[in-house]
Structure 1
């Protein structure tokens, strides 16, 4: 059994070697994303593993089907870069990865604290030996209300982490969970917007959630609200964020992901001419903390993502369960 893995980072190679030996498969490792132009690299492979920069649209899936690829597995939880309808039509199983929610949940809480305590401008000052305090006064989380949008595994773990701070926690999810309700109060979105000092997003990217944070929804929030996004960039309208940071309606942003980030994420662009003005402009504000889509990035999560991919492909090929199967 042979698998072709694409977008393989150096930190994944050891995990791929260990998992391939453990389950008894051969894995060809490729650093570049999978495209129609290099689909021939999957020749002789029954399964393909990718990350989020490989856009598995209908044309690419068709090219893989012609090469007898039966399974595509993304080493990410999100799967909006896969055309699921095309995969189903072509008889290709689509799999996503799974990993413990703790890394992203802890990163989310870190972001909340960094923004509330004005860490970014404090860091800037410290680097030039300016140890003044003016403008750096923060807020204590215990005195605030935090709204959590989406209470799946990550959102629920964020809520669990926040309980130790003594803050009031509001939650929104179309499918409330009894265990989450022990620590948070489920409310509708309007109530969450109107009452939350901090709002953090943990929703999948769907047609119904695209730009769920927009000019209209921000207008319904408290003045000075802090927004955190460690989920999907397209959940937030980038232009709306910029305008409302400028207007001081938004008091701070913690962003591990931003829409239009595709050409930037996980690449060294220091010597390039960048055309993504929105991200370049947003990141210069002192109350905006941005990182390079790395909330997931822990040793445990990386190994789990590789393991899910290799295990999932082998399991499907062995059982013949040829259908779309996502966790």
Structure 2
């Protein structure tokens, strides 16, 4: 199989692609450029393309298809940036990856603690040498009820990590796990919204989950609720969240993902307009922490992403059973 890799980072990804392509007998080419209509020709002669979070439109899919590309492999868990249904209608394969759930789970716990302890506010005040206590009084995690939306591999790991803090844990998922019995209480999503002091999101971006945190959901929540999102930006209605922060309904928000982040994150935009005014507003609040889709970023996860994106494409091209196929 011949694989063409877009958005290659030579400082972390390339050594893993060298290792795993050699291991699995895959010939590969690459570019640091993100895929776009102007550089689709780079994939000519390759069986599959390997991408990250760049939006892959129908026009780009048509170009790849015309070049003979048979599979689009994204080295991310989410695949909502690909018009995957259209690709499959042309007979193209689409694959995604799994990676170490500890990466995002660890980051989530960090974000919860930073939000609870008002860490951004403390650090901002410290930068101007204001070492007073006013406005910095925090809550302790063991006294809180934490609601976990989505109990896949990452959500389950978050729950296991949280269980060591002694807090009450509520969970919502369409598919309940016996392995989590005794660690959390599965409830309906509405009850989770109503009873949780902190809500952390670990659901995929689908038509059903789009804006699950909207104005109506926020009204059901406790005053001063904390919201953590290390999953997908589309899960939260940004306008509704901003309104709830302004009204102090939301006590803190910690966001590793935001709506319409494509084209911003993983690029140097210093000195440029963001083109995302809601992100600019969210970043301005002392009780909101915004990071640039970093939760996944560990050496274990990057290795998993490279290896599994290669395997997903290889298995599709060879017609083998494929745990990474998007269906």
TM-score range (shorter-chain normalised) is over 0.9
- Structure 1 position 49, deviation (Å): 0.3
Contact 1:117 1:138 (C-alpha < 8 Å) held by counterparts: yes
Question: What's the CA shift string for 1:127-179, capped at 9, x where partnerless?
Answer: 23222111111100100100001111111110000000000000011111111
Q: Are the counterparts in 2 of residues 145 and 170 from structure 1 also a CA contact under 8 Å?
A: yes
Deviation at 1:318, TM superposition (A): 2.5
- The equivalent residue for 2:207 is 207
Give the C-alpha shift of residue 324 in structure 1.
8.8
Matches of 1:282 and 1:35 in 2, distance apart?
A: 29
TM superposition shift of 1:108: 0.5
1:3 to partner: Cα distance: 0.9
User: 1:170, 1:185 within 8 Å by CA — same for their partners in 2?
Assistant: yes
Q: Which residue of 2 aligns with 1:62?
A: 62
Aligned residue for 1:226, secondary structure, equals strand
Q: Which runs of 5+ in 2 are unaligned?
A: none
Q: Flag the 1:183–1:43 CA change in 2: closer, same or farther, 3 A.
A: same
Per-residue CA deviations over 1:18-63 (Å, capped at 9, x if unaligned) read: 112222222111112212221110011001100011x223222222
Q: How many residues matched?
A: 326
- Scaled by the length of structure 2, the TM-score of the pair is 0.96
RMSD (Å), alpha carbons: 1.7
Which residue of the partner structure matches residue 3 of structure 2? 3
In the other structure, the counterpart of 2:49 is 48
Aligned residue in 2 for 1:312: 312
Q: Report what 2:165 is aligned to.
A: 165
C-alpha separation in 2, matches of 1:292 and 1:260:
12
> Where does structure 1 lack aligned partners over 5 or more consecutive residues?
none
Q: Aligned in 2, Cα 1:68/1:320: closer, same or farther, shift over 3 Å? A: farther
Mapping for residues 244-323 of structure 1, pairs under 5 Å: 244-319=244-319
1:17 corresponds in structure 2 to 18
Instruction: Provide the C-alpha distance between the structure 2 equivalents of 1:7 and 1:139, rounded to a whole number of angstroms.
Output: 42
Bigger mean CA offset, 236-245 vs 27-36: 27-36
TM-score using structure 1 length: 0.96
1:322–1:298: structure 2 CA closer, same or farther, 3 Å change rule? Answer: closer
